[in-house]
Structure 1
Amino acid sequence: MKEQSVSSIPGIPFVLGLLVAMAGTAALFILGLRDQDGLFIATGVALGVLEFFLLFGFYMVEPNQAAVLSLFGKYVGTCKDQGLRWNNPFFSVKKVSLRVRNFESGKLKVNDLDGSPIEIGAVVVWQVVDSAEAIYNVDDYESFVHIQSEAALRAMATSYPYDQHEDGKISLRSHAAEIARHLTEEIQERLAQAGVTVGEARISHLAYAPEIAQAMLQRQQAGAIIAARTRIVEGAVSMVEMALEQLAARKVVDLDAERRATMVSNLLVVLCSERGTQPVVNAGSIY
C-alpha cells in the first residue's frame, strides 16, 4: 500500500455556489407552494435533498496534514491541499498528521551485554511520510511507533555493555553518537512498513538498576583510583629518571648504587604520597 495523490475541489468557491443553488431551490419551492404547482414542489424537494447531501463532501485539511480518502473500503488517494476542500460525499476521510513528533519511552529494565541489569530510556523523533501505509498497513500507527521503539531500545541495549572495559570497545555510556545512530537504524527498520521515518533517537536515561547500583559505583571508584595511581606512578618514575640524568650530566654529586637506590625511594615516596611529606633534616652531630 503506497500513497497516491488525489485531486479535490476548492471548498470556498464550491460552498458559495452551493449556497446560491440552495437559495434558488428555496425560491423554486416557495413558488411551487404559492402556485400550488406539484412539479415545482417536487423539483425543489429533490434539489434540496441533493444539495444537503453535497454538504457531506466538505472536509478541512490543515498545514502538514493529509486526508486519506476511501470509497466503500477501497483506497482512493491522499489529499494534502490545505484549506477547505470538497470531494465525493461517498468518500470517507481519515486525517493523518505529517508534523514532526517525539515521545519519551518509559524507563526500561534490561540486561546489558555483560548481563548487568540497567535502566534505560530514549527520546524518539518521528514523522509520518506515507499516509496510506500509516493508515492501512498497521492498526494504530502511533501505538505501533511506541511499542516498536521500546522493543528496538531493548534489543540495542543488550548488544553493548554499560561501561567501556577495554579500549576501542563501544559502550552505552561512553559512545553516545554511535549508540544513537545504531538505535535510530534499529527503530527505522521496524517502522518502515508503517510509513514512518525516524529523525533522531537518543538515550535520555541510563543507570544501573537499584539492586546493583552501589556495587557498580564502588567498582567505578576503584577503577578511577587505579587509573589515577597508574598515572601518578608513571609521572613519578619519569621525574626520578630525569632528576638522576640531570644530576649525572651536571656532575652535581656522584652517587653509588646504595645512595642512588635511597634517593629513588625517597623521591618516589614524595611524589606518590597522598599527603605532603615532612622531611627529616639531618643537622649533624654535636660530637
Structure 2
Amino acid sequence: MQERQAWSMNGVLGIGLIVLLLVGGVFSFFQSLFLLGIPLFIIAVVLASGVTIVQPNQSIVVIFLGKYMGTVRREGILITVPFSVRRTISLRVRNFNSNRLKVNDVNGNPIEIAAVVVFKVVDAAKAVFDVDKYEQFVSIQSETAIRAVATTYPYDSFTGEELTLRGNADEVSNELTAELQERLKVAGVEVIEARLTHLAYSTEIAQAMLQRQQASAIISAREQIVHGAVGMAQDAIARLEEGNTVELDDERRVAMINNLMVAIVSDHGAQPVINTGSLYQ
C-alpha cells in the first residue's frame, strides 16, 4: 500500500455551493419546479456528506465502498469524496516509553533495560492498511528490538576493549534506532530517536556485580598508583645523583627505592625512622 492524494476541494467554496443549491431547491419547490428542486437537494446532500475538517499535522484516510481513495493532508475545512469513511491519523511526533524488560546480555547476565522511542507516522495508508492497530505494533516491535539489541552487548566490560551497554550509549542508541526503523517501516512509521532510559543489573546479581566493579576499580587505581610511584622513585634517585650531590651504591639505591615505593604506595601515611647512628661508633 502506497499513500496517494485524495480528491478534495476548498471547504468554504464547497459550503457556499451547498447553500446555493439548497436555496435553488427551495425556490424551485415554491415555483412547483419539482424536477429541478429534487436534483438540487440531492446534489447538496451529496456534497454535504463529504465535508471534513483536517487539523494541523493530521491526515484523513478516505475509504469509499471498501476501496482506498487517497489521503487528505491539507489542513482546514474541506470537501472530499462523498459518503466515504474517513479515518484520522495523527502525524505528530510521539513518544513511547517501554516497560522495564528483564533480558540477558551477551555474557548471560540478567539485566533490566528500558528505552524511549520518538516516532511519527509518515505514510498514513501503510499505518491503516498494512498493520492492525499501528500504535500496538509500534509498542510490541519496540520492546522486541530492545531485547534484540540488549542481547548483543555486555552490560559492562572490565577490559575496556569492547562496546558495552553502559559505556557506549550513543552507539547502542544508533543501533537500536536502525533496528526499529527496519521493523517499523512496514507501518509507515519513521523512528526519530531511540535511547535507553533505564539500565541496571537484575536484583539477584546486583550485589555480586557491585563487588566486582569495586574490585575492578581498586585494581585500576592500584595500577595507576604503582605506575606513578615508579616514575617518582626514578626521578628522586636521578635528582639525588645529579651533579654528584649524593653517591649511592647499588645496595643503598635499592633500599631507597624500596622506601620510596612503600611511602608512596601505602594506604596509610608512612612513619619515618630516623637513623642517628650506632652506639658503638
TM-aligned CA deviation for residue 26 of structure 1: 3.0
The corresponding residue for 2:59 is 66
TM-aligned CA deviation for residue 273 of structure 1: 1.3
The corresponding residue for 1:122 is 115
Q: Does 1:215 align with 2:197?
A: no
Deviations 1:248-279 (A, max 9, x none): 23222222232222211110111011222221
From 268, 271, 278, the counterpart of 2:261:
268
TM-aligned CA deviation for residue 176 of structure 1: 1.1
From 69, 72, 76, the counterpart of 1:83:
76
- What is the TM-score of this pair, normalised by structure 2? 0.93
The corresponding residue for 1:101 is 94
1:159 corresponds to which letter in structure 2? T
Q: Secondary structure at the match of 1:14?
A: helix
Q: Secondary structure at the match of 2:120?
A: strand
Kept in 1, the 8 Å contact 2:21–2:41? The answer is no
Give the Cα separation in 1 of the matches to 2:274 and 2:143: 68
Give the Cα separation in 1 of the matches to 2:63 and 2:42: 23
From 229, 235, 244, the counterpart of 1:242:
235
Q: Does 1:16 align with 2:9?
A: no
TM-aligned CA deviation for residue 202 of structure 1: 0.8
Q: Does 1:200 align with 2:185?
A: no
Structure 1 residues 163-202: aligned runs within 5 Å? 163-202=156-195
TM-aligned CA deviation for residue 185 of structure 1: 0.6
1:128 corresponds to which letter in structure 2? V
Aligned length: 280
Q: Does 1:143 align with 2:136?
A: yes
Q: Secondary structure at the match of 1:162?
A: coil
TM-aligned CA deviation for residue 48 of structure 1: 3.6
TM-aligned CA deviation for residue 65 of structure 1: 1.3
Gaps of 5+ in 2: none
Give the Cα separation in 1 of the matches to 2:120 and 2:55: 16
Give the Cα separation in 1 of the matches to 2:103 and 2:208: 18
Give the Cα separation in 2 of the matches to 1:45 and 1:122: 61
The corresponding residue for 2:26 is 26
The corresponding residue for 1:255 is 248
1:262 corresponds to which letter in structure 2? A
- What is the TM-score of this pair, normalised by structure 1? 0.91
TM-aligned CA deviation for residue 128 of structure 1: 1.0
Larger CA deviation: 15-24 vs 90-99: 15-24
Q: Secondary structure at the match of 2:185?
A: helix
Kept in 1, the 8 Å contact 2:46–2:83? The answer is no
Give the Cα separation in 2 of the matches to 1:12 and 1:49: 19
1:24 corresponds to which letter in structure 2? G
Identical counterparts, % of pairs? 49
TM-aligned CA deviation for residue 220 of structure 1: 0.5
Give the Cα separation in 2 of the matches to 1:47 and 1:125: 50
The corresponding residue for 1:2 is 2
Deviations 1:138-195 (A, max 9, x none): 0111111111011000000000000023333100011111111100011111111111
Larger CA deviation: 217-226 vs 78-87: 78-87
TM-aligned CA deviation for residue 238 of structure 1: 1.1
Kept in 1, the 8 Å contact 2:71–2:124? The answer is yes
The corresponding residue for 1:280 is 273
CA RMSD of aligned residues (A): 1.9
